[in-house]
Amino acid sequence: MKYPGIGCLLLIALLLLSSAGCSERTGSRGEPDQIDVISSVDQEKSAPLFIDGFEGGQAYRTSSGTFLVLDLSTSRTQMGRQYGGLAGEDLRTFHDRIVADITGRGVAGDYQLATAQGLYDGYPPSLQELLQGMIQISGLTMDEVLVVNAGMLLLTDAILAERRRVCLTMPRQGAAGLASGMDTLRMAHLSLAGTGISIGM
Amino acid sequence: MKEYMEFLSVVVLHPDDSYSYANIHPLGNVYLETDMNEYGLFIELNNGVHSDPTEHMDWQDTSSVLLMF
């Protein structure tokens, strides 16, 4: 292929279209459909629904169900305890799912923990104390709390590394596929020679 | 990433030694990416590290890639 980078660029464009651009609906004349923003805002403006309280912290769910809302106060460690006490089950679910995902993408557990520990070591005491409070009560170990804190970063790294590998290999596959297709067409052209049927080569 | 949005949370912290702030992030992520404090100061992190060749020596920034063609 003369311009091997084009395959990568097209892949990125397709990914962007599938994740974002394609979500915009258009009317029959091409103009965007009017989105019912008002009712969405009204829905979010409704009071959040109280779920639970723990050691002075409160958990709510927005009326649309989109967000879990935690309202925490006092010391950093105490806020971490409130966080862990209110959201421990969800933290466990999130941890187990995202770690399985990251591991399945080829990121070793040791690397996950080392990255998570490195992030923690670089945090100011305020964030470290928040995490320490979470560790006390959430039901997750310190390693698990640190990994879930780094989970989205680890997953982003893993996904981007995968896409980069795809970008590096696709142009070669594309060139091979094109050559194979051209061979097939040539063979078809030869087999049709003399029949009066043209395939445009 | 979309499958993890069910864990997206708004955690409002009222520390007794500093400003209150809200952290919008998946659950358990305590570092700041999208946040607002009690005075309305808003911050948003858009991470471009994956396009930074000083971080990933064998990677290229987006503008360089565009000039390759």
pLDDT tens, N- to C-terminus, chain B (69 residues): 788 989 999 999 999 999 999 999 999 999 998 999 999 999 998 877 767 777 767 666 666 666 655
What is the total count of domains within chain A?
Answer: 1
User: Which has the higher per-residue pLDDT, A147 or A199?
Assistant: A147
Q: Is residue A92 part of a domain?
A: yes
Q: Judge contact between A112 and A147, C-beta under 8 A.
A: yes
Q: Is residue A196 part of a domain?
A: no
- Smallest CA-to-CA distance from A55 within A38, A69, A71 is with A71
| pLDDT higher than 80, residue A121 | yes
Domain that includes residue A112, residue range = 75-180
Angle at B25 between CA B21 and CA B28, to 5 degrees: 95
Highest mean pLDDT among A5-9, A28-32, A131-135: A131-135
Give the start-end residues of each E strand in A55-193.
Answer: 57-61, 68-74
CA distance B23 to B10: 6
Tally Cβ neighbours within 10 Å of residue A74: 17
Nearest CB partner across the interface for B12, out of A72, A75, A148: A72
> Rounded to a whole number, what is the distance in Å from the CA of A38 to chain B's nearest CA?
22
Task: Report, as an integer, the average pLDDT of A154-183.
Answer: 64
Q: A40: pLDDT confidence band, cut at 50, 70 and 90? A: low
CA distance A49 to A62: 6
Q: Is residue A136 part of a domain?
A: yes
Q: Judge contact between A109 and A150, C-beta under 8 A.
A: no
Least confident of A6-15, A156-165, B51-60: A6-15
Chain A contact for B56 (CB, 8 A cutoff): no
Chain A contact for B30 (CB, 8 A cutoff): yes
What is the complex's ipTM, to 2 decimals? 0.80
Chain A contact for B59 (CB, 8 A cutoff): yes
Residue of B nearest to A165 (CA): B59
Output the pLDDT for position A28: 42
Chain A contact for B1 (CB, 8 A cutoff): yes
Q: Is residue A124 part of a domain?
A: yes
* Residues pairing with B12 in the sheet: A71, B22
Which positions in chain A touch B69 (Cβ < 8 Å)? 3, 5-6, 9
Q: Is residue A50 part of a domain?
A: no
CA distance A78 to A173: 55
Determine which of B3, B6, B8, B13 to mutate to test the interface with A (most A C-beta atoms within 10 Å). Answer: B13
Q: Is residue A125 part of a domain?
A: yes
**Length of chain B counted residue by residue:** 69
Domain that includes residue B54, residue range = 2-66
